[in-house]
Structure formats: C-alpha cells, structure tokens
Structure 1
Amino acid sequence: MTVGFAVVLATIFLAAFVQGTTGMGFALIVVPVLALVEPRMIPGALLYLMLPLNAYVAGREFRSIDMRGAGWITLGRFAGTFVGLWILLLLSAYWLNMVVGVSTILAVIASLMAPAFTPGRRAFGLTGVVTGITETATGIGGPPLTLVYQHAPVATLRSTVALCFLVGEIISLTVLVLSQSIGWPQLSYALYCLPALLLGMCASHLIHHRINQRFLRKGVLVFALASGIVVIVTTGWS
C-alpha cells in the first residue's frame, strides 16, 4: 500500500463518518485529497462510493424522509442537469465556477440574516434546478440541498438530502458510463476503498442520534461557506 492510497483511505473513513453523522461533507472532504493523489478517479470513483453511503443514510432514517420535498427537488434536478449542460456552452469553466462560489457565499449570508422558513414546492423545485446545474457544471451540489433544509429536523435533513444525492448519483453515473467517460478503473478503485467507507459508516451509526438541530444548522452554513470558498480558490489557482 502506498502512502498516497493510505491517505485516501483515511480521508474516506473521515468523510463517511462526517456525512453519516451530519448528512453532508463527503465530497468536500474527499475531492481535494483525491485530486492530488488520483485525479483520474474524479468523479467516477467518488460517485460509486457515495452510492452505498447515501443509500445507508437514507435507509437508516427512512421514516423521516420528506418525500414531497424530495420529489420536487428531483424534478428540478432533472431539468437543471440539462440547463447545466447548456450553460457550459455559454460560460467558460472559470466564470461558471466563480459564479457558483460567490452565489453560495451570498446564500449563506442571506440565510444568516433571514428568519426561519418552511420551504414550499417552488423553493424545492428551484433547489433541484440549482443543484442539477451546479453539480453538472462544477461537481458541487450539496450546498443548495443543505441550505433549503437547514431549519428541518436533523433526521429529515440527513435522510432527505441523502435520498436526493442518491437519485442524482444514479443519473450521473448512468450518463458517465453510457458516454464511456468512466469505466472499470474507477469502479475497481472504489471497491478497494470500500472497507474504509464501511468503517466510517459504522462509526457514524454510534453518534448520529446525538447531533442536535442547532449544531447541525451551524454545520450546514459552515459547509456551504467552505464549499463556496473552495470553488473560488481552486478556480483562481487553475
């Protein structure tokens, strides 16, 4: 085992633990490390690993899933995927990433200033569209989902976001496989990393019920803010 692969395994364990506990953060933690060690495994291996992780989180708290919200988000996400592809033809990757990063940071600021809210179908649908656009164009789709559920019960946020991620990952993997953008190398790499993922999932099971709503909302805002900053910084370096 190389040092680089050992670092990847440790990172995947930590990321699975964090997402299994809070419902977010896996890609944000893993992508920077994987990009340095094995950039060819992005996004294929990452998406393969997120399938069992999000299936587990959604199944663990299945009764808490907001099916209505997830349905509208999925519809919006499907449309947003094609909008994202269209936008890629209009904007350079540099400007698109900058817009996503700045917009995410502004959304966090607005969330801090706005009172608590209960999202309706328009908010869910728009969230799905934005998620589809940003994930298709930049690979980052978590912040919009977590922001719209920031005032929801902890179990609802974790399970619903996991279900939305799961559906989106299936769509993304199907498109990538059919277009031959990914293949056996990404799947085999994910299989080698699977033990670390499972250990992180098991560790999260021990403490996920101890996370309170106030703590999780702060985590959501920090996560979204960090995502926006990472996008801007990495874009500026590229």
Structure 2
Amino acid sequence: MIEAAWSCLLQWWALSELTLGTWLWVGGVLALGCFVQRTTGFGMAVVGAPLILLKAPAMVPVVLVVYGFLVSCLVVRRYRREVAMGDISMALVGKVPGTLLGVWLLLIAPMATLEVMIAAIVLFAVLVTLFKLRLPVNRSSLFGAGFLSGIFGAVAAIGGPPIVLLMHGMPMDRLRGNLAAFFLISSLMTLASLAAVGKVPLWLLAVSLSFLPMVLVGHGLGAALAPRLPRRLLQGASLTLCAAAAIGLLLS
C-alpha cells in the first residue's frame, strides 16, 4: 500500500516537470500571496499568477484556484457574520457565463497570448486598487463585474479586481467577508469548469496540495502581523511587485 502510494507520488512529480528549485519558488510565491491577502484582504492571485507563470506556467491557474478556495474558507470562517449573500448573488449569476467564456479562451489561446492576457489582468488589478474608482452598485453592474470576474478567474485565477472595484466602499470587515464568500463559491465553479474540460489532471491537483504547509505558514504570519504592519505600506509593496512581474511577462 505504502509502496503503491509512493510510486504514484513519484509519477505525479515526474509529470509536473518541476525541479526542487521551481517547487520552492512556487511555494514561496503562494506563501507570499497568502500573507498579502490576509493582511490587506485581497491579492493572492494578483501576486501569484505572474510570478508562478514565470517559472511554472503549467501550474496556472489551477494551483491558484485551489488555494483561493482554501484561503477563502479560512476568511469566511472568521468573517461569517459579515457575509450578506444579497450583496454578491447577482455577481455570482454573472460569473457563470464569464467562467464558460474564460475556459473557452484557455482552451483555444496559445500560451504566449495567455501570458499577455494575464499580464494585462494583473495591471488592471493594480490600477483598480490604486485609483479606487467609484461605480454605481446595482444589479447590472454586479452582473457585469461577475462576468468579468469569471473570465479573469478562469484564465488566471484573478477574479477579484472587478468585484473589488464595485465593493471597495464597504466597511473593511464586510468587504472581506463578502469577497471571501464570493471567491469561495466562484472558486468551486471555476475548478469544476476546468475539470470538465480536462484541465485539472490528478497529478496537478496532487502537486498543488503539496504546497499546503507553505500556504498555512504565509496565512499564519499574515494573521499574526496584520495588526502590527501598516496596510498601505504592504499594499504598496505588493502592487509594485505585481506590476513588475506583469511587465516582465510582457517583455519576456
């Protein structure tokens, strides 16, 4: 039994084509992304997608969707009293056709095109966070934000910026709770859609789960240091890193 399990692990590792250095890079990026998300409320995939894509493109978007779901579970558990499904229900409706379109793009677009798309999504996320534009929040805008979130989430696991653009005026705890609830449900939708078209092979899921210890360390450090570190400084540093990684993708 143990020998069979070990044999499967070795086969999955071979299929991943990851070196130890690349595995450590991906794990470190995920830990950093979890730290940023726990301290600022948003940003794991924005940090993770361009940096992981530089070293391990086969891991994107599945590894980020998996940990987006797990981190959202942790955040929802903390802020469950702040969640108001009425705030996000229409966005979840828009998420469905957006996810289907995003998966279709993932299937037909060459990797070079996907890299440009992901870099553009990351830069859009940076601009949204920096300028905090005010848009009317209604059923139409929520549906549109959910639709864009579905596309961005399927292509790069970066479904947050369109929703944040609408909801950033909420009190911080309510924002964190609603975003986490939205990401929890939408991550399941994205993962199911990717699995349906064969984009979530067992080896990829297994290798993704191997990063769990590092993710928990990043989340734990974020929880411990969040009250002690200035949120604006952390956000500024993470946005600079994201922008640099996105520009690096465009120039590579």
Structure 2 length normalisation: TM-score? 0.72
Distance 2:190 2:24 in 1: 27
**What residue is the counterpart of 2:7 in the other structure?**
none
Aligned pairs for 1:120-135 within 5 A? 120-135=138-153
**What residue is the counterpart of 1:67 in the other structure?**
85
Distance 1:210 1:154 in 2: 17
**What residue is the counterpart of 1:53 in the other structure?**
71
Identity of aligned residues (%): 25
**What residue is the counterpart of 1:104 in the other structure?**
124
- 2:84–2:178 contact (8 Å) kept in structure 1: yes
Q: Which moved more, 1:84-93 or 1:144-153?
A: 84-93
The letter for the 1-side match of 2:170 is A
The letter for the 2-side match of 1:79 is P
- 1:97–1:235 contact (8 Å) kept in structure 2: no
**What residue is the counterpart of 2:46 in the other structure?**
28
Question: Residues 78, 28 of structure 1: CA spacing in aligned structure 2 closer, same or farther, 3 A cutoff?
Answer: same
Of residues 164, 182, 188, the one that matches 1:164 is 182
Once superposed, what is the RMSD of the aligned Cα atoms?
Answer: 3.8
Aligned pairs for 1:1-238 within 5 A? 2-84=20-102, 93=113, 97=117, 101=121, 104=124, 108=128, 111=131, 119-137=137-155, 139-208=157-226, 215=232, 219=235, 223=239, 234-235=249-250, 237=252
Could you give the per-residue CA deviations for residues 114-146 of structure 1, whole angstroms, max 9, x where no partner exists? 5x6662333222211121133334543221122
State how many pairs are aligned: 231
Structure 1 length normalisation: TM-score? 0.76
Distance 2:227 2:122 in 1: 33
| Structure 2 unaligned spans of 5+ | 1-18
- 2:103–2:194 contact (8 Å) kept in structure 1: no
Could you give the per-residue CA deviations for residues 23-69 of structure 1, whole angstroms, max 9, x where no partner exists? 21111222233223322222222222222111111221111123212
Question: Residues 47, 148 of structure 1: CA spacing in aligned structure 2 closer, same or farther, 3 A cutoff?
Answer: same
Distance 1:34 1:99 in 2: 12
Question: Residues 80, 227 of structure 1: CA spacing in aligned structure 2 closer, same or farther, 3 A cutoff?
Answer: farther
**What residue is the counterpart of 2:8 in the other structure?**
none
The letter for the 2-side match of 1:234 is L
Question: Residues 118, 209 of structure 1: CA spacing in aligned structure 2 closer, same or farther, 3 A cutoff?
Answer: farther
- 1:101–1:229 contact (8 Å) kept in structure 2: no
| Structure 1 unaligned spans of 5+ | none
- 2:90–2:142 contact (8 Å) kept in structure 1: yes
Distance 1:52 1:24 in 2: 14
Question: Residues 6, 97 of structure 1: CA spacing in aligned structure 2 closer, same or farther, 3 A cutoff?
Answer: closer
- 2:29–2:51 contact (8 Å) kept in structure 1: yes
Distance 1:101 1:90 in 2: 18
The letter for the 2-side match of 1:27 is A
Question: Residues 80, 63 of structure 1: CA spacing in aligned structure 2 closer, same or farther, 3 A cutoff?
Answer: same
- 1:73–1:125 contact (8 Å) kept in structure 2: yes
Q: Which moved more, 1:74-83 or 1:50-59?
A: 74-83
